[in-house]
Amino acid sequence: MKIAKEPIEFIITPVQSGNRIDKLLALINPEYSRSYVKKLILQGGLYINSKNIKDPAFKVSSYQKIKIVIPLIKELQLEAQNIPLDILYEDEFIIVINKKAGMVVHPGPGNDKDTLVNALLHHCGNNLSGIGGVQRPGIIHRLDKNTSGIMLAAKNDTAHRVLSKDISLKKVERIYKAFVWGTPKMVKGEINLNIARDPQDRLKMAVTKKGGRSAVTQYKILKSYHYASKLQCILQTGRTHQIRVHLSHIGFPIIGDNVYTRGRNKSKQMPDIMTNFSRQALHSGSISFQHPINKKFMQFTQNLPYDMKNLEIELNKHNKSIDNLY
């Protein structure tokens, strides 16, 4: 990773007077997001008239001398691993990958190898954005370990900032396929329920009436089976475990999701694959966005992986066998 720039120094003009320092710095230096500037200030990187200020909301006055010290970006301590990647598209700014189920996206405590980031470091070298932090180079959005499908990563900070902003403005469309227990009454619908950490289990997320973060998932039934259905889900937001939490909350948990599947009444007539599926049957099947640099519209789709395709085949077979009984 490259070393940061020299300190930023300037004098507040009368026109700039009265502005919050974090907002002003983000406006003057568009390569740094406001959230990054805020973090920088809280970590002690701001000096006003040689005095260290740690208040991002500090309002500046005319002729104050501002100095921002940009810390050195730490060298990545992660290991670049030669892990095969299913690359759908790549240029000097972005890379689009079809992630297999079972692969963790980025390192975490006790899990610093065999992740997508380790694979990207080997494939891209230092050509990955650093905005996501030392442990998440290039990563704009995540997929859970046992969710398969399309992911988009950035190869420089400019691409990262543009795509992150586009996601927040809902300009990036992400479409998922899921197989769930049961069939919703409505053919299509929208789940608009806030999500927060589950107070009973901090490793899980849960719908909450107070606080939390806004979360919106749109769904449509693609096919109904006797004990299950195939859904298309579109994310309007991107909260942790969002689709899994939302579908579970309305009573239709994803097949194979042992974390969010509440007790289901099992029937001897159910196909075994429904109760024995080894992971959540959730696949990121499509992403569309505007290229961060050349602004061309881009869309990528990926068919269901083998295990979910096999699940679909077995559910179809089971439908026919049940229908033949009547």
> What is the set of active-site residues?
144
pLDDT at residue 193 in the model: 97
pLDDT of 265 > 70? The answer is no
Identify the helix (H) or strand (E) that includes residue 245: helix 242-249
Which region among 25-29, 54-58, 64-68, 202-206 has the lowest average model confidence (pLDDT)? 25-29
Contacts 24+ apart (CB under 8 A), 261-267: 261/181, 264/181, 267/227
pLDDT at residue 70 in the model: 75
Q: Which residues contact 197 (CB under 8 A, 6 or more apart)?
A: 204, 205, 206
Three-state SS for 96? strand
Portion of the chain with pLDDT greater than 90, in percent: 63
- Please, are residues 155 and 284 in contact by the beta-carbon 8 Å criterion? no
Q: Which residues contact 313 (CB under 8 A, 6 or more apart)?
A: none
Q: Share the mean pLDDT of the chain.
A: 87
- Please, are residues 207 and 245 in contact by the beta-carbon 8 Å criterion? yes
- DSSP letter string over 15-68? TTTTSBHHHHHHHH-TTS-HHHHHHHHHTT-EEETTEE---TTPBP-TT-EEEE
pLDDT at residue 7 in the model: 80
Spatial separation of the C-alpha atoms in residues 236 and 243, rounded to whole Å: 11
More confident residue, 209 or 7: 209
More confident residue, 266 or 165: 165
pLDDT of 207 > 80? The answer is yes
pLDDT of 270 > 80? The answer is no
pLDDT digits (tens, 9 = 90+) for 117-133: 999 999 998 888 876 66
Model-level pTM?
0.74
More confident residue, 156 or 323: 156
- pLDDT-based confidence at residue 202 (cuts at 50, 70, 90): low
**Could you give all domains of the chain from N- to C-terminal order, each with its CATH number?**
8-68 (3.10.290.10), 170-285 (3.30.2350.10)
Q: 65 vs 17, 38, 49, 203, CA distance in Å?
A: 12, 18, 5, 46
